[in-house]
Amino acid sequence: MHKHLWTWHRRLGALISVVVIFLCISGIALNHTEGLKLDQRHVQAGWLLDWYGIDAPSDAWSVQVNGTRIMLLGDHLYADDKLIAAPFSELHGAGWNGQMIAIAAGAEMLLLTPELTLVERMTVSEGLPADIQAVGNGLADRIALRTPDGLWLTDRQLLGWEPAEEGAEIQWLPAPVQTTENIEGIREHYRGRILNWERVFLDVHSGRILGSAGPILMDLVALMLLGLAASGLWLWSRRLR
């Protein structure tokens, strides 16, 4: 009986050792989520993103301005390959006033330097006209907007907006078009911003990384650990005698 139990004790230990290693690593990592910034670090590994079924949208909306491609992929706004901000529901257009790129997206206007550094995000709360439909250039490259409430022109510094008359001299810029060309790099970037490592470690720790069967498997492992502890104690007590 003693020899038989000893054999099973060893077999059980070997069997669950791999799972215990995963449990220990994920548990320690989760205990230090903030220190390790697990919630801010995103998974880039393609196979793991595939495992989670995470994909990027296959088409995007884009517009060219001052030699820069402004693109909305999903809810992420990019200038060339650089992520500017998120989330946005729609790209309305973009203009150039000789100093800055002005992008109308969602209910905001984002101002970028020619080097694509974000200068400011303007919202309706800060006086930006609501429901932007189109972006254009008025005289002296002033940015113009068309909204249901009429036409608007900004000052040279892009700080304020004033109504313009219907017949104002405005050159309306091309509206964004749907595109699927040359977006693979940006799609990969988009995909790599969805899943953080905290989520992965939580799923590893609970077994959910393996789907609905995972937690049941972890329950079995827990029962095995209990069996291991019980058999270990019993064997130890026998040895003392």
Partner 1 sequence: MKHILKHLAALLVATLPLALAHAAVYQEPAEFVTESFHGKPPTPKALWLTPELKKQMQEILGHPPTGMRIRYWQDKQRTTWVLDEIGKELPITTGIVINNDTIERVRVLIFRESRGWEVRHDFFTDQFRGAGMNGKGSLDRNIDGISGATLSVRAVEKLARVALLLDQTTKNTP
> How is 111-138 classified by DSSP, letter by letter?
EE-TT--EEEEEEGGGTPPSS--EEEE-
Where do the H-state alpha helices sit in 82-212?
184-191, 197-206
Residue 157 interacting with partner 1 (CB under 8 A): yes
Q: Which of 30, 33, 52, 133 binds partner 1 (CB under 8 A)?
A: 52
Answer yes or no whether residue 225 interacts with partner 1 by CB under 8 A. Answer: no
Among 20-28, 91-99, 139-147, 194-202, which window interacts with partner 1 (CB under 8 A)? 194-202
Q: Is 121 in the site for partner 1 (CB under 8 A)?
A: yes
Could you tell me which stretch among 2-10, 29-37, 136-144, 211-219 binds partner 1 (CB under 8 A)?
A: 211-219
Give the one residue of 94, 195, 204, 218 binding partner 1; rule: CB under 8 A: 195
CB of 209 to partner 1, least distance (A): 8
| C-alpha Rg value of the chain to the nearest Å | 29
Strand order of the β-sheet with 60-65 is 82-85, 76-79, 68-73, 60-65, 177-179
Phi (first) and psi of residue 225, to 5 degrees? -60, -40
- 202 touching partner 1, by CB under 8 A: no
SS3 of 19, please?
Answer: helix
Buried b (16+ CB within 10 A) or exposed e, 202-222: bbbbebebeeeeeeeebeebe
Q: Report the alpha-carbon distance of residue 186 to residue 59 in Å, rounded.
A: 11
Tally the C-alpha atoms within 13 A of residue 140's C-alpha that lie toward its C-beta: 6
Q: Which range of residues in 123-131, 176-184, 216-224, 231-239 is near partner 1 by CB under 8 A?
A: 123-131
Beta-sheet pairing, 108-112 with 101-105: antiparallel
Q: How many of the chain's residues bind partner 1 (CB under 8 A)?
A: 28
Query: Would you count residue 54 as binding partner 1 (CB under 8 A)?
Result: yes
Among 87, 163, 174, 185, binds partner 1 (CB under 8 A): 87
Token duo for residue 163: 């109504």
Nearer to partner 1, 84 or 228 (CB): 84
Closest distance to partner 1 from the beta carbon of 62 (Å): 21
Out of 212, 236, 237, 240, point to the residue binding partner 1 (CB under 8 A): 212
CB of 175 or CB of 213, closer to partner 1: 213
Scanning 141-149, 176-184, 208-216, 217-225 for contacts with partner 1 by CB under 8 A, the matching segment is: 208-216
Binding site for partner 1 (CB under 8 A): 51-54, 74-75, 86-87, 113, 117-121, 123, 125-127, 157, 159-160, 194-195, 199, 210-213
